[in-house]
Amino acid sequence: MNPLRVAIVTRRFWPLIGSTERMSANLAAGLAGRGWQVTVVTPRWQPGWPERITLREVPVVRLPAAPRGRWAAWRYVRGLRQWLTDHAQEFDLVYVTTLKHEAAAAVGALRGRVPVVLRPAAAGLRGDCLWQIDTAEGRRIKRLCVKADGFIASCPAAERELQAAGYRRDRIECIPLGVTVGPLPSPTVKAALRATLAEVNRALEMPRGAPLAVCVARRYMRDELQRLVAAWHPIARRWPNVRLWLIGEHGEREPLIRHIEASNLAGRVVPAGVFDEVDSLLAAADLFVAPTPHADRPLAVLEAMAAGLPIVAVDSPGTRPLIADAEHGLLVPPEEVAPLSAAIHRMLDEPKLAARLGAAARNRADAEFTLAEMVDRHVTCFQSLLHQNQPSHQDRPRP
């Protein structure tokens, strides 16, 4: 049998950083490591970016006209559909990490020729399913999406949303996200990582031995970040040396900085920006805070679990499958400042509790949410789908 060939279509990919981007990169590398021929197809967000690169031994094709605005989005989707049509014979399966325009382009171009599997990029109030219901464009796109050959949900909440939206239950597979659990950093390694990060960004300089909390933030998390800043007031009064780093893309960076400065927390709450990977940041940290209640991006919490960090997270459908309250971390009600602040205070004030919860979270990630398991389950799902839809895919013409 020839190596199976899969195209992963994703709107955002490296060097853009987020849960979908990291999941796509990890899955692509994992499939390639099992002998599959994998190609990532994504927009070229900046004109100066090369059209083709190789990341972790996986070829990446960047199509022109990144989807900024209606006209650019139309050009991008048209170009994607044409590219998939032209290259259909080069793939046995196409995997799309959204239920939006890319999904419609793939199903429209390939239905009946190449199996298409769709994965919602997000769930909850900002999720793909709700967008398909609430917008005329979404409803039009859904009419194509429901014709896909398979659907993958990354958590039970996303699976329930797909079912409630009318997607066929027998075509939905729930495959949890996976992470790699590596060795824990020693105090010497942690100090060295902090020193290196401070060299990259002077704003990240810290007092020696001071506790460090990190939050992986998204562009849409304005309200959540403002609540986290408000929750940090009593923390900063109790522990003046404690630092909070906000990692990731902040769509309204200047208002966030002004809010931090107005709160007299400049230097203690730091919008640290975007990093190519989060492993070193988590290894440098002592605490992880997840202030969003949305179920769409649990990967950041899983990565913190794998790093052995004590976690304070908002209780939500996305965090409950990962963290049992007071067993693997502390869960707090959404949209409330005082419980969030109290949970952070407790983690800092009770180091034995923090260490126990961090160790339990790490053990659970290692037992139930490994990257190898995630890749293996995708392999099984894809192979089953190919057997059902295209039993002789290995005999198709090869380029």
Tell me the CATH architecture of domain 187-368: 3-Layer(aba) Sandwich (3.40)
Q: What is the pLDDT of residues 374-396, one digit of tens each?
A: 999 999 999 999 988 755 444 45
Amino acid at 278: V
Residue by residue, DSSP assigns 54-123 as EETTEEEEEESS-S-HHHHHHHHHHHHHHHHHHTGGG-SEEEES-SSHHHHHHHHHHTTTS-EEE--S--
CA-based torsion, 220, 98, 367, 193: positive or negative: negative
Domain positions in the chain: 5-177+371-395, 187-368
Confidence of residue 1 (pLDDT cuts 50, 70, 90): low
CATH of 5-177+371-395 given 3.30.300.30, 3.100.10.20, 3.90.1200.10, 3.40.50.2000: 3.40.50.2000
5-177+371-395 matches 187-368 in fold: yes
pLDDT given for residue 372 in this prediction: 96
Average pLDDT over residues 264-268: 94
Beta strands in 210-337 (DSSP E): 212-217, 243-248, 269-273, 287-290, 311-314, 330-332
Of residues 321 and 255, the one with the higher pLDDT is 321
pLDDT given for residue 292 in this prediction: 80
Q: What is the pLDDT of residues 317-373, one digit of tens each?
A: 888 889 999 999 999 999 899 999 999 999 999 999 999 999 999 999 999 999 999
Q: Are strands 330-332 and 269-273 parallel, antiparallel or unpaired?
A: unpaired
Q: What is the pLDDT of residues 6-36, one digit of tens each?
A: 999 999 898 887 788 889 999 999 999 999 9
Three-class DSSP category at 238 = helix
